[in-house]
Structure 1
């Protein structure tokens, strides 16, 4: 909780119980959906009273934290939006088509963007988001045994 409070203060955001609850719920749970965070925080159960967070409040906090670049939102095709604490390091993702597992992949170049478009069309590019799709080892093994 102290680390969450420090992160909020560093970004100039108010240190609220709701924001701390979301940051704490994301700790150790990369690529969480809003529904997963809702369950982890206890929204809709007796545990919600401690954070004072409603479902709409959760989405508002996720938006605030994303805009402040304290969390990152990724939206793999066919999947709900997912949130992670790993920000500002130009990493990408591997997604399993079988089970939906998502893993981080460091950028091989290290500087953003790690790919350059053939034409910039008037844009100033500062990020490239790459998602590789395939099967994780467990799903590949399961499909080979069928």
Structure 2
């Protein structure tokens, strides 16, 4: 942590044991500035910030950031992977069946795993991922026009 406030992106990367590169800093900032973005959109955001970066480098960096707990990968059924910067809490997602928009939704229970299976089959359950599916207000309005 810096003397003047929260840690910089570079300090967060170092703190997670990751090498600091311009592309990783740009990627982490792009994920955090975005809204459940896919790899192509993230790569474009990184390129806007630092110039050329290969798609393979973006995939590798996303894998490292996710493994370090700095970003979260979500994969709604039928959609490519998306990434978000909201990590370490117990939240879930709303997904629109029409346009694929994704929104965060807090867990009403508040503590992980927030749901317990009827039969845990001997597992020690520590997390539950819930995806709520529906139609967003924009798609509902478009269908009523």
TM-score, normalised to structure 1's length?
A: 0.88
Cα distance in 2 for partners of 1:14, 1:47 equals: 19
Question: When the two structures are aligned, how many residues end up with a matched partner?
Answer: 138
Taking the TM superposition and a 5 Å limit, the aligned residue runs for 1:124-139 are 124-139=124-139
Cα distance in 2 for partners of 1:27, 1:128 equals: 23
Q: Which residue of 2 aligns with 1:77?
A: 77
Q: Which residue of 1 aligns with 2:21?
A: 16
Runs of 4+ residues over 2 Å off in structure 1: none
Q: Which residue of 1 aligns with 2:43?
A: 38
* SS of alignment partner, residue 38 of structure 1: helix
Q: Which residue of 2 aligns with 1:47?
A: 51
* SS of alignment partner, residue 94 of structure 2: strand
Report how far residue 7 of structure 1 moved: 1.3
Report how far residue 122 of structure 1 moved: 2.1
Q: Note if 1:105 corresponds to 2:127.
A: no
Cα distance in 1 for partners of 2:55, 2:122 equals: 39
RMSD across aligned C-alpha pairs, in angstroms? 1.6
Cα distance in 1 for partners of 2:96, 2:90 equals: 20
Give per-residue Cα distances to partners, 1:48-74, cap 9 Å, x unaligned.
Answer: 1xxxx3211111100000011100000
TM-score, normalised to structure 2's length?
A: 0.89
